[in-house]
Amino acid sequence: MKKYCLFAMIMCVSATAWSSIITFDAEYVYSQRAVTHNDYYEGDYRISGTGIIFNPFNQNPYAATIPNNGTQHLGDGYYGELIIERIDKGPFDVYCLDVARYSSVTSGDTFWYDAIKTDGEIVRGDLPLDDLLFDTHVIDLKDITYLEFYCIDTGSFAVDNIIVVPEPATLLLLGLGSLVIIKRKFKA
């Protein structure tokens, strides 16, 4: 019994082992791909709203300059919104993400987020934007079911590398299911 308890503790403590990083690289985008009316899925997460996934290497050099961190990312602006939620509508945690200003032709030094927790509480916050350079920000949102990023007026933002983790109770159920499978295997 002690080894099963130890196994369950390891499963819970190592929650970050099940973390995912939403990179917007799950499907290749030649230049741009609109998310509006065409949701984007990566891992267990659905991304919707009014954004465009950009490949920074295949952009029109005469258009507005966009941030380039070497990978595809999602940009949005002018009253835009980006919504992240699990496909099964289950709870999850968000630890950090990379943000930048979306375009050289927009203004605004911050963008905002709203997160809805499983108990209905709304957590609001804002993050600074540093021109076209991606910065990593820790937001550490726990036990949420819905996360929305948005900007106001002529503001704009780009996001990438969003680290998400399923809610710990889900991990505990996975651990308990693993214990049952292991126990059955040893009985056979």
Assigned domain for 154 exists: yes
Q: Amino acid letter at 141?
A: L
171-to-19, 89, 175 alpha-carbon distances in Å: 11, 15, 6
> What range does the domain containing 91 cover?
19-166
Q: Answer yes or no: are the C-beta atoms of 156 and 103 closer than 8 Å.
A: yes
Assigned domain for 6 exists: no
Domain count, the chain: 1
Assigned domain for 99 exists: yes
CATH code of the domain containing 129: 2.60.120.1360
Q: Amino acid letter at 104?
A: S
What does the alpha-carbon distance between residue 35 and residue 12 come to, in Å, rounded to a whole number?
A: 34
Assigned domain for 7 exists: no
One pLDDT digit (tens) per residue for the chain, 188 residues? 445 444 444 444 444 456 789 999 988 888 888 887 788 999 999 999 888 888 888 766 666 677 888 888 888 876 678 899 999 999 999 999 998 887 666 666 678 899 999 999 999 998 888 777 888 999 999 999 999 988 776 667 888 999 998 866 555 555 655 555 565 556 65
Assigned domain for 173 exists: no
Assigned domain for 101 exists: yes
**Helix, strand or coil for residue 72?**
coil
Q: Answer yes or no: are the C-beta atoms of 147 and 84 closer than 8 Å.
A: yes
Q: Which segments within 87-178 are labelled E, that is strand?
A: 92-100, 110-117, 122-128, 135-150, 156-166
What does the alpha-carbon distance between residue 152 and residue 110 come to, in Å, rounded to a whole number?
A: 9
Model confidence, pTM: 0.74
